[in-house]
Chain A
Amino acid sequence: SQQGEEDPQALSIQEGENATMNCSYKTSINNLQWYRQNSGRGLVHLILIRSNEREKHSGRLRVTLDTSKKSSSLLITASRAADTASYFCATDDGTGRRALTFGSGTRLQVQP
């Protein structure tokens, strides 16, 4: 079963606008990560937030984590056409196997 569920499933915005994607998960986590997948390609790591952190920034990315609600959000500011991709959250439960559980993803389309 999917640990994380993303919302919305698809998002279309204009270049320059901000894009917000949400992720909910079910079990306790060690950390939560966001990955990007360009069409037909593998996933690329974007940012990680640990369970004891509430907010993290990296360039145009801002991630928040609310462990009480078991949810996270990814904000991309001043979006560009090159940000067009699918975005996935992934949780690490901190067990020895170190395997990630991925959400179903948000497809972001940034119109130039």
Chain B
Amino acid sequence: NAGVTQTPKFQVLKTGQSMTLQCAQDMNHNSMYWYRQDPGMGLRLIYYSASEGTTDKGEVPNGYNVSRLNKREFSLRLESAAPSQTSVYFCASWELQGYEQYFGPGTRLTVT
């Protein structure tokens, strides 16, 4: 059981470039989430997907798009990266009957 996996682990982009962060979970969870964590701060919700086929905006969705490809996979896309998007990005999943979220190891993104 790998839990929640994320790729890549590190990425450096130039302003204006695009990229997709990948996330997969093998726990058959319905809900999946993307957060960003800026230095010295807690996590802020970007987008979430309550179930396959649905996505909703969180607290800080501007500049991002998401795709819930299937029950396992939830990707986050930056269409035109900006330095303000330099952050660590975490994916998480949540079982329907449970209370805790399970987190991936994170992707450290730097936009120059």
Contact = CB atoms under 8 A, between A and B. Distances in A.
Contacts of B35: 102
Interface string A41-77: 1111100100000000000000000000000000000
A100 interface: yes
Nearest to B100: A45
B42 interface: yes
B103 A44 contact: yes
> Interface of chain A, helix or strand or loop or mixed?
loop
Contacts of A100: 45, 101
A88 B106 contact: no
Interface string A92-112: 100011111111110000000
A42 B90 contact: yes
A98 B94 contact: yes
B50 A97 contact: yes
Contact of A99 (B33, B103, B104, B106): B33
A43 B43 contact: yes
Interface residues of A, number: 25
B103 A105 contact: no
A99 B58 contact: yes
Contact of B42 (A40, A44, A103): A103
A101 B35 CA distance: 10
B47 to A, nearest CB: 10
B4 interface: yes
Contact of B48 (A42, A45, A88, A97): A97
B2 interface: no
A99 B90 contact: no
Given A42-B90, A42-B106, A43-B103, A102 B42 contact: yes
Interface of B: 4, 31, 33, 35, 40-45, 48, 50, 56, 58-59, 90, 92, 94, 99-106
Interface of A: 1-2, 4, 9, 31, 33, 40-45, 48, 88, 92, 96-105
